[in-house]
Chain A
Amino acid sequence: MDFLSLFLMDFVKQLQSPTLSFLIGGMVIAALGSQLQIPESICKIIVFMLLTKIGLTGGIAIRNSNLTEMILPALFSVVLGVLIVFIARYTLAKLPKVKTVDAIATGGLFGAVSGSTMAAALTLLEEQKIPYEAWTGALYPFMDIPALVTAIVIANIYLNKKQRKAAAAAAHAPIQESFSKQPVAALAYSSDASGTVGDYPDQSDYPSSRQEYRSQQTPGDSRVKIWPIVQESLQGPALSAMLLGLALGLIAQPESVYKSFYDPLFRGLLSILMLVMGMEAWSRIGELRKVAQWYVVYSVVAPLVHGFIAFGLGMIAHYATGFSMGGVVVLAVIAASSSDISGPPTLRAGIPSANPSAYIGASTAIGTPIAIGVAIPLFLGLAQAIGG
């Protein structure tokens, strides 16, 4: 029972930490209908600051560390990113009232990494004085990009298969309606309209005025290009800030600005971001309620399952190559986290037919609060209990 009491005590203590209390505070004031507004540009600056700081920390530390240690955790990150998407494809997608593309997109978002969740975990590790390798922040892209690429690729493979099936069926169908020059588009549209999730019920009569624009739609090309997705992820605001920080930390001598500006401001700004994320989480819950209830179940369970898988893999690295316990926690937390800054636009562009209310709602409203509020204290407690 020693383990359990230690864990529970730790859990309560975590809830009082600035990170979590601001998140919960944000949710509470949003629930009470507060008119508090944090300008969007401030959020963007905060995200930039946090990720640059993480990058700089990593870059400065990498200069005098042995990078071969990073290979195994980086490999595990890639595996996790891909695995999480497949877990969603074969669990969430099978649930009733869940569209397969929506499920794959949700998996992609949960596989991708949230910079703010990672920042929260790193802050808590520092507060608890648990050592971790400074390069663990650099594991971010190794999990983020594979998850998004996998999600977009398997979603497009699935859609193409569905479209080919529809085309084959159309070839056998006797007469097409006159406006339909492209039978594929017409059928794809009708199967869309009969889709199970009715987020916008009037979707079916949306194009009635200019019917021809649907019939003009060419069937999507069957090849998904992977490189543009990777490029887009790297160019996203979160990753480019982190990579810039990493490069500057490695090449330049940014210690003076790091000590006087990035490091001292980090925690305060993180608390503002947490407040905003709490408020956003609350405002998205209503949106999620309109899509299938199973998303709620998935987004509560999935972060913890992903985290435990990552924790297991991290422990393997711990025994094999001496990956620190703090590093194991970071790996588990980034697996548990779901992208909230750069992931959604990438997925929206990569899988346009997936319903953003489903995957962004699942991630922002429930996935992120669970990752920050439950997963971080859980894995920290677990690491402390195991590490002593």
Chain B
Amino acid sequence: MAKPAKKLVIVTEKILLKKIAKIIEECGSTGYTVMETGGKGSRNVRSSGQPNVSDTQANIKFEVLTSDRDTAEKIADQVAVQFFIDFAGIIYICDAEVLYGHSFCGPEGC
């Protein structure tokens, strides 16, 4: 049976990867997916494939599935407070349904 979940998406700079992963774990989420991405935002085009020798332009996209909105908002608030004044980033949330995932617990428990 599909379990309702919230999908929190954080698109930001790659150098924040470890710090954001730490926040996500501290907020009680047990897993997340990270992708390398690129695109355009208010701070110019980033990592759109120009050659570079360091990672400063690279972007990542976190996807975290949480069982409730509170956890997702806690993660989002902490990330925004700590980083989004000085780093590029955007956070959005969507509804999701987990179809298969052995260890994912929905709002009604596992």
> Is A357 on the interface with B (CB-CB < 8 A)?
yes
How far, in Å, is A202 (CB) from chain B's closest CB? Answer: 5
Using Cβ atoms and an 8 Å threshold, which residues of chain A touch B77? 210, 213, 216
Report yes or no: B86 in contact with A352, Cβ–Cβ below 8 A: yes
A37-B49 contact given A200-B43, A216-B77, A345-B15, CB 8 Å threshold: yes
> Is A144 on the interface with B (CB-CB < 8 A)?
no
> Is A304 on the interface with B (CB-CB < 8 A)?
no
How far, in Å, is A221 (CB) from chain B's closest CB? Answer: 13
Report yes or no: B85 in contact with A279, Cβ–Cβ below 8 A: no
Using Cβ atoms and an 8 Å threshold, which residues of chain B touch A74? none
Interface flags, A356-377, vs B, CB<8A=1, else 0: 1100100000000000000000
> Is B55 on the interface with A (CB-CB < 8 A)?
yes
> Is A324 on the interface with B (CB-CB < 8 A)?
no
Report yes or no: B53 in contact with A47, Cβ–Cβ below 8 A: yes
Report yes or no: B54 in contact with A213, Cβ–Cβ below 8 A: no
Using Cβ atoms and an 8 Å threshold, which residues of chain A touch B56? 344-345, 348, 356, 360
> Is B80 on the interface with A (CB-CB < 8 A)?
yes
Interface size range on B against A: 20 to 34
Using Cβ atoms and an 8 Å threshold, which residues of chain B touch A319? none
> Is A293 on the interface with B (CB-CB < 8 A)?
no
> Is A133 on the interface with B (CB-CB < 8 A)?
no
Report yes or no: B51 in contact with A43, Cβ–Cβ below 8 A: yes
Interface size range on A against B: 35 or more
Residue of B nearest to A277 (CB): B53
How far, in Å, is A35 (CB) from chain B's closest CB? Answer: 10
> Is A276 on the interface with B (CB-CB < 8 A)?
yes
> Is B42 on the interface with A (CB-CB < 8 A)?
yes
Using Cβ atoms and an 8 Å threshold, which residues of chain A touch B33? none
Cα-based distance from A9 to B52 in the complex (angstroms): 33
Using Cβ atoms and an 8 Å threshold, which residues of chain B touch A202? 42
Using Cβ atoms and an 8 Å threshold, which residues of chain B touch A341? 53-54
Report yes or no: B55 in contact with A345, Cβ–Cβ below 8 A: yes
Using Cβ atoms and an 8 Å threshold, which residues of chain B touch A283? 50-51
The binding surface of chain A is classed by DSSP as: helix
How far, in Å, is B50 (CB) from chain A's closest CB? Answer: 5
> Is B81 on the interface with A (CB-CB < 8 A)?
yes
Most buried by A among B15, B51, B56, B83: B51
**From residue 30 to 73 of chain B, which have CB atoms closer than 8 A to chain A?**
42-44, 49-56
> Is A353 on the interface with B (CB-CB < 8 A)?
yes
Report yes or no: B51 in contact with A217, Cβ–Cβ below 8 A: no
Residue of B nearest to A26 (CB): B51
How far, in Å, is B46 (CB) from chain A's closest CB? Answer: 10
Report yes or no: A279 in contact with B50, Cβ–Cβ below 8 A: yes
Report yes or no: B49 in contact with A345, Cβ–Cβ below 8 A: no
> Is A116 on the interface with B (CB-CB < 8 A)?
yes
Most buried by A among B52, B80, B84: B52
- Which one, A37, A40, A213, A353, contacts B84 given CB within 8 A? A213
A357-B85 contact given A280-B50, A280-B53, CB 8 Å threshold: no
Interface flags, B71-110, vs A, CB<8A=1, else 0: 0000001001101111100000000000000000000000
Cα-based distance from A116 to B52 in the complex (angstroms): 13
List 14 interface pairs A-B (beta carbons < 8 Å), by A numbering: A40-B51, A116-B53, A189-B85, A203-B42, A206-B84, A207-B84, A210-B80, A213-B84, A280-B50, A280-B53, A340-B54, A345-B54, A348-B15, A360-B56
Known: A283-B50, A345-B55. 9 other contacts (CB 8 A): A40-B52, A207-B84, A214-B81, A217-B85, A276-B51, A345-B56, A349-B15, A352-B85, A360-B56
Residues of A participating in the B interface, judged by any CB pair closer than 8 Å = 37-38, 40, 43, 47, 116, 189, 192, 199-200, 202-203, 206-207, 210, 213-214, 216-217, 273, 276-277, 279-280, 283, 287, 340-342, 344-345, 348-349, 352-353, 356-357, 360
